[in-house]
Amino acid sequence: MIFTVLTAAVIVAVCYVIGSIPTAYLVVKKIKGIDIRTVGSGNVGASNAARVLGKWGFIGVLFADMMKGFIPVMILKHFYGESWLVLIGAVALIIGHSFTCFLKFKGGKGVATGVGVFLALAPFQLLIAAFIFGIMLAVFQMVSLGSVTAAAFLAVMVWFGSEWNHLRYITVVIALLIIWLHRGNIARIVRGEERKVGKRTS
């Protein structure tokens, strides 16, 4: 019992620190010499990086943040299979990305790292959610709207399409967290003030 608790604590701590690596901040600081928190939405994520660095900046940051989620979860799955230890590690990765200890707990909104996590945990359901995201982005040209819609759809699809019970509950929790982190975007969408793709911040 004590060993399991210690194992869980180590997994949470290590995954949180990995998730906390502020990719967008580091890349924008290196290339532009500015603090990404002072431009655009102030968010430390791929979408805001795109406003500063353009398409390739978005792709690079998105891929790196995805790998932060994918690689640790795949390693945990290799050792623990469908265990709750894998899931607490997954949650810690997303929390780390969203509340990074390296930037006074101001981070991204969990989407890119969440994509990596679910690429490892529920790839089929993620593929469908990505398709939904693509449709929303093509129609409304708002990454935030596509993200919250895809998160909601992912939770529903995992709930009805997975036999891993604990994964069902964790997916709902993660989806709600992502939606909550986008609450400012949702308010701007309602007011008609949300930025659309293609707009860069000089």
pLDDT at 50: 86
Q: Which residue has the tokens 């990505």?
A: 130
| Domains of the chain, residue spans | 2-191
Neighbour count for residue 107 (Cβ, 10 Å) = 29
Q: pTM for the full model? A: 0.93
pLDDT in tens, 71-110: 999 999 999 999 999 999 999 999 999 999 999 999 999 9
Number of C-beta neighbours around residue 103 at 10 A? 15
**Which regions of the chain are under pLDDT 50?**
200-202
> Who contacts 91 (Cβ-Cβ below 8 Å, separation ≥6)?
170, 173, 174
How confident is the model at residue 199, as a pLDDT?
56
Give residue 101's pLDDT. 96
pLDDT at 40: 81
